[in-house]
Structure 1
Amino acid sequence: MEQAVKDDVDVLNLSLGNSVNGPDYPTSVAVNRAVELGVPVVIANGNSGPNHWTVGAPATASKAFSVGASTNPQKIPYLVEPKSNRPFLIQVMMGSVPWDFERSHQIVKDTEKENMYGKIALLQRSDIPFYDLAKEAEEKGAEAVLIANNEDDMISGSIDTGEEPIKIPVAMISKEDGEWLNKLVAKDSVYLETAYQQVDTTIAPFSSRGPVTVNWDIKPDILAPGTNILSTVPGGYQSLQGTSMAAPHVAGVIALIKEAHPNWTTEQIYGAIETTAIPLKDEEGNLFDPIVQGMGEIQPSDAIETDAIIHGAKLSFGKIEKYNETKMVQVKIENKTNQDQTYYFDIPKKQKGITWELPQTFTVKKQETKTFPVKLTITSPQVEEGLQQGWLQLNRKDSDQSYQLPYLFINQTTDNPKAMGFQFALKPFSEDSYTYQLYVTEPAKKVKVDLYDPQTLLFDRTLLTTEELQTGMNEGEMKKEEIGNPGHYLAIITVYLEDGTYESYETIIMIE
């Protein structure tokens, strides 16, 4: 990033990410500084959806333009067991060739090591990487691979490792469907048929969701096509999935806007893209949540030709902690024409405990920029605790144009991760010192890291306990004699919060 800024690039496109959902991770800080120096930075939002809080740094940077993935209109494959007429949703993995079958296939379990030729291998998610599981099945002649999840929450998964591509379709199914299929296969020969559902543009299930912890920003900022994108690979072309396919679309749009409007600032460019985006709706006609889509899907021509730019259109009111609290955000409208523009808000639907104070009809004169406040008052006990989000509609009289402004606030507390991103490694250029990192999102009294045998799950030892904590990134060092035996461990990280509660999460670490 430093070199790109020195080279005076027009736009930076990044596919970087991690599990730290916080605004001040070092890569996020670097992104903000690059934007402050005049370089628009476009970042893939991540492929860890569809759960909340899955966007990771640096897409969490407040000044990054973070891009989620929308789907192209397409046929979505699913499987049907004909005897029971039971349908199975499948999630084709990133890096996989399309699932495109016209005939039924027999399913064989991973315990059946004999003939897999022409059949679909049913495998179980484990510590073995998805690529390795699928590659072994391919080498044994499998026509396709289904990997049953071992957790209730669905993930998309990836077999894109940079190694030799797998040439058969690989998809994930839910834990429930996997257990049902395994029992069925154990009793009898089972065949599955592939069926297809035609769907319009929607949100890619793998696209990471917001919001961002600590500052509660709405992410992603925007959506762009991220499924079945024909892209270059070593030796040719391949249809690929991911927010890494979506982000370059937006980088290209920014390049086009810069050519059309060379004097526009990064703020104006971001604003033009967001102002003209079209929010996506579900099958019932309701807008998807703001933390799923940001402002909606890009419209390149409209962004280039826009006659108005809304700045600060994503309304994040932060956390409500008092009994009765008023929050305010400033929104700015820039009139790019030689005609006055008149705006008004639709009156929001009445919600108990929530009061909006919106400006009455107002006019932005030709070539003028006008700032106005949007106020939100919350009576906390009357509103459900947790993440609250929705949309306000801003209308323009002179053109029958309307804009959907997403809003978000946290009432008291929510289910956001309290600690994440634990890393433990030998200190560079050292033989006897280790460093650790841990990101904490809320005030905490203590963090303890316990080590367990990953196979037997028996407790081994406590690696570290620390009470010197701050909200954000925490770092420290340990000497070799303090850490105990080397090996492969399941680490349970427990954070004890100042409000008396605690939360744990687990990760695998290797002590060299």
Structure 2
Amino acid sequence: MKSKNKITQNNGAQTQQLLNTCQLFPSYTYELEVNPIKVKQLHKPNSINYIGTDAIRHIKDKNGNRLTGKGIKVGIIDTGIDYNHVDLRKAYVKGFDFIDQDQDPMETKGLGPLSTFHGTHVAGVIAANGKMTGIAPDAEIYVYRALGPGGIGTTETIITAIEQAMKDNVDILNLSLGVSINGPDLPTSLALDKAVESGIVAVTSNGNAGPEIWTVGSPGTSERAISVGASTPELEIPYLQYDRQLFRLKPIVGSAPWNLTRSYDIIDGKHGKKEDLANLSVDGKIVLMKRGDITFTEKVMNAKNQGARAVLIFNNEDIEITAQLETEIDIPAAILTKAEGERLLRLIKDKQTLAKIIQKKEEDLLADFSSRGPVTYTWDIKPDLLAPGVAIESTVPGGYLALQGTSMSAPHVAGAAALLKQANPDFSPAQIKALLMNTSILLQDEDSQTYKPFEQGAGRIDLVRAFHSNSIIQPASLKYGKISGSKFEEKTKLITVENISDEPVHYTFSTPPRSDAINWDLPMPFTLGPKQKTKIKIGLEVKDEHKQNQIFNGYLTMHANSQTIQIPYLYVVNEPNYPRIMAFSLETTKQTDVVKYEVYLPGGADEFGIALFEADTFQFVEFLDVVKNMKRGLVTKKAKLKRKIHSGVYIAVAFAKKEGKEDYVEQVVEINQPQ
């Protein structure tokens, strides 16, 4: 999180109104997280049709046109677009560059590693019309370049772009961007809510900070927008088989495909340094290495130079990582988790046998990187739904590329929303959001366990089910908020049931499994005639003595004739274990004894403080600030050094305590004092 001075650009009255709504928060730095995989020849992207696009093309809109997005205006707030790309020329209508302040939203080009391609990739998924066909190939694309070189942008540029999209009366708006701060009151989240209120279907990525809980970031925390997590389309995944045990491989970007058909020896290559491999017989073998000491590129290149057939690198930490080589190397290389790497290392030492590579088909799994919810403070369920976001081929300047990230998932939903809007021009953003959620497919993990609502929302999008649905249920998810857990409580939610078909629909609820924690008060069966709608109550009776500081969630099953609709629900008990501090930055000022800091506290703090330590010895210096009962949200303050300290590098540790839980974030800061 980086702070800037107050906004000085005159963005017009509507922007100022949005910024006032957002409390004139300082600017955050927005960044994009995607992992590129080179595509030498475009295949037919399977993710486009995996959600059912081809299967509904025969459906006609009210003017007799096939469903291609014709007449629908889709805004894209991103890094710009290569509007000269042969697959995007037809779709591009107009745009604006809020980085260079002109009407040319071209991607950043000619700046080496700072050149961009992200917006062009997003646009291709939505509306490519050439060698590649997007979900809505006849949609009209309006492009707003709000992220500049390196894919970096600020709150001001993004909110200004949202304002322009509202002025242009776009029907759909895609934002595949975000910050890793889980708060409903962040500026872009509030601005997106305003855009939806104006009639725009806003779609945003949920974030790439998974698999941990509470990792959804703004604007994915927007209440009214459709926040999209990432699932896998049908993929072939390489596995290493050794002594009848299987190890899932995560290929390193820039290495060769794992098309190995023979059996191979595996040897321990230590850390993959030249001296580690010097006295080993490496030629024609798979080399197992531990992460650390040198770069991934050096490890793989050292093994290649010794004649290795492939490289496996296992992590030295219990976290998920994705690796990319600095240059392409023509042998396969992949990442293993710490646990699996250590297990394989023990096996090759205990039992000498040959390894082989097998390919397994996988589909409809939640991507590890996909951010999870729920949203802090409001306890909203995010993501709202999932869409394919792994190995997604699409357009980039000069060709095509496969990328992964929730940035790739969001445009699948934006394209789907464009088709729904074409077929149903009178549908509101809330109806389109609910319809997509009502008809999504609940996914299960490899152990056949259904993912939780705060992991997958209502499930993976399915256009066939959406276009053949007889009903819309809204809201499509139920958030019951916070309870004390120590006494009997009743919660009630009103939902609207709408029959959108031309036939009567009979509605029933399945009886939820018995629970020691809750009782449900569900409506009796009822019938609605064609185009009728009604409101019904969904009651929740919370029993005594809940487990404290927990998240309770699941799905209610509703039947609309033969159609099944899964409705996610969630509530929390007291203060669940969300991070008590989400972001922290500290910087010096012109006054040598004064520092300025920003911190985001999702639920406020019983006690907040900043401790200063020597960087080399970690010896305590002083408390820069200590505050009792700190308010929630973004806090910007100045703090004064209480005594004179020498110039140098220090570590500032910000901590927040709330309801017995304490978290901290640290930052290195350089303090210069006059001689």
1:269 aligns with 2:429: no
| Separation of aligned partners in 2, 1:7 and 1:381 | 53
Asked whether the equivalents of residues 494 and 538 of structure 2 are also in contact (C-alpha less than 8 Å), the reply is yes
| Separation of aligned partners in 2, 1:31 and 1:123 | 44
1:77 aligns with 2:238: yes
| CA distance 1:87–1:491, change in 2 (3 Å) | farther
**One-letter code of the match for 1:61?**
S
| CA distance 1:306–1:193, change in 2 (3 Å) | same
Q: Which residue of 1 aligns with 2:621?
A: 461
1:309 aligns with 2:472: yes
Q: Which residue of 2 aligns with 1:129?
A: none
| Separation of aligned partners in 1, 2:509 and 2:299 | 57
Q: Which residue of 1 aligns with 2:364?
A: 201
Match of 2:247 among 77, 88, 110: 88
**One-letter code of the match for 2:636?**
E
| CA distance 1:95–1:2, change in 2 (3 Å) | farther
Asked whether the equivalents of residues 450 and 462 of structure 1 are also in contact (C-alpha less than 8 Å), the reply is yes
**One-letter code of the match for 2:169?**
D
Deviations 1:18-70 (A, max 9, x none): 32122112222222222222222211111222221121121111112111111
Find the structure with the greater CA-based Rg. 2
| Separation of aligned partners in 2, 1:459 and 1:472 | 31
1:504 aligns with 2:663: yes
How much has 1:141 moved relative to structure 2? 5.9
1:327 aligns with 2:486: no
How much has 1:420 moved relative to structure 2? 1.2
1:401 aligns with 2:559: no
3-state DSSP of counterpart to 1:467: strand
3-state DSSP of counterpart to 1:389: strand
Match of 2:461 among 298, 315, 319: 298
3-state DSSP of counterpart to 1:403: strand
1:149 aligns with 2:308: no
3-state DSSP of counterpart to 1:377: strand
Structure 2 runs not aligned, ≥5 long: 1-161
Q: Which residue of 2 aligns with 1:230?
A: 393
How much has 1:366 moved relative to structure 2? 2.4
Q: Which residue of 2 aligns with 1:338?
A: 502
Asked whether the equivalents of residues 424 and 437 of structure 1 are also in contact (C-alpha less than 8 Å), the reply is yes
| Separation of aligned partners in 2, 1:411 and 1:489 | 39
**One-letter code of the match for 1:9?**
V
Counting only pairs closer than 5 Å after superposition, residues 52-201 of structure 1 correspond to structure 2 as 52-82=213-243, 86-92=245-251, 99-103=258-262, 104=264, 106=267, 108-110=269-271, 112-114=273-275, 120=287, 122-124=289-291, 133-138=295-300, 140=302, 142=304, 146-152=312-318, 154-157=319-322, 159=324, 171-179=334-342, 193-201=356-364
Match of 1:11 among 167, 172, 177: 172
3-state DSSP of counterpart to 2:624: strand
| CA distance 1:452–1:12, change in 2 (3 Å) | farther
1:445 aligns with 2:610: no
| Separation of aligned partners in 2, 1:277 and 1:96 | 35
| Separation of aligned partners in 1, 2:634 and 2:212 | 23
Aligned sequence identity (%): 36
| CA distance 1:329–1:431, change in 2 (3 Å) | same
Q: Which residue of 1 aligns with 2:380?
A: 217
Q: Which residue of 2 aligns with 1:40?
A: 201
| Separation of aligned partners in 1, 2:647 and 2:172 | 44
1:377 aligns with 2:377: no
| Separation of aligned partners in 2, 1:255 and 1:133 | 44
| CA distance 1:101–1:482, change in 2 (3 Å) | farther
| Separation of aligned partners in 1, 2:575 and 2:620 | 34
| Separation of aligned partners in 1, 2:416 and 2:541 | 38
Deviations 1:92-139 (A, max 9, x none): 46788765544546552335225689765734268xxxxx93344455
Match of 1:357 among 518, 521, 539: 521
3-state DSSP of counterpart to 2:433: helix
| Separation of aligned partners in 1, 2:647 and 2:253 | 34
| Separation of aligned partners in 1, 2:344 and 2:652 | 32
3-state DSSP of counterpart to 1:419: coil
Deviates more, 1:45-54 or 1:241-250: 45-54
| Separation of aligned partners in 1, 2:649 and 2:287 | 33
Deviations 1:373-397 (A, max 9, x none): 111111231557511111111012x
How much has 1:449 moved relative to structure 2? 2.7
| Separation of aligned partners in 2, 1:186 and 1:485 | 53
Structure 1 runs not aligned, ≥5 long: 127-131
Deviates more, 1:305-314 or 1:484-493: 484-493
**One-letter code of the match for 2:627?**
E
| Separation of aligned partners in 2, 1:72 and 1:290 | 20
3-state DSSP of counterpart to 1:62: coil
3-state DSSP of counterpart to 1:374: strand
Asked whether the equivalents of residues 78 and 88 of structure 1 are also in contact (C-alpha less than 8 Å), the reply is yes
| Separation of aligned partners in 2, 1:502 and 1:482 | 31
3-state DSSP of counterpart to 2:402: strand
Match of 1:318 among 477, 481, 504: 481
| CA distance 1:16–1:410, change in 2 (3 Å) | same
Asked whether the equivalents of residues 92 and 156 of structure 1 are also in contact (C-alpha less than 8 Å), the reply is no
3-state DSSP of counterpart to 1:496: strand
Asked whether the equivalents of residues 654 and 664 of structure 2 are also in contact (C-alpha less than 8 Å), the reply is yes
Bigger strand share: 1
Asked whether the equivalents of residues 272 and 303 of structure 2 are also in contact (C-alpha less than 8 Å), the reply is no
TM-score (norm 1): 0.84
| Separation of aligned partners in 2, 1:296 and 1:206 | 16
Q: Which residue of 1 aligns with 2:21?
A: none
Deviations 1:412-459 (A, max 9, x none): 3422211111123467xx6867542222123422222335567x6733
3-state DSSP of counterpart to 1:381: coil
| Separation of aligned partners in 2, 1:237 and 1:169 | 22
3-state DSSP of counterpart to 2:417: helix
| CA distance 1:179–1:285, change in 2 (3 Å) | closer
| CA distance 1:290–1:94, change in 2 (3 Å) | farther
How much has 1:361 moved relative to structure 2? 0.9
| Separation of aligned partners in 2, 1:88 and 1:491 | 41
**One-letter code of the match for 2:603?**
E
**One-letter code of the match for 2:322?**
G
1:470 aligns with 2:631: yes
**One-letter code of the match for 2:522?**
L
| CA distance 1:445–1:288, change in 2 (3 Å) | closer
Match of 1:239 among 391, 402, 413: 402
Q: Which residue of 1 aligns with 2:29?
A: none
**One-letter code of the match for 2:662?**
E
| Separation of aligned partners in 2, 1:411 and 1:261 | 40
| CA distance 1:337–1:434, change in 2 (3 Å) | same
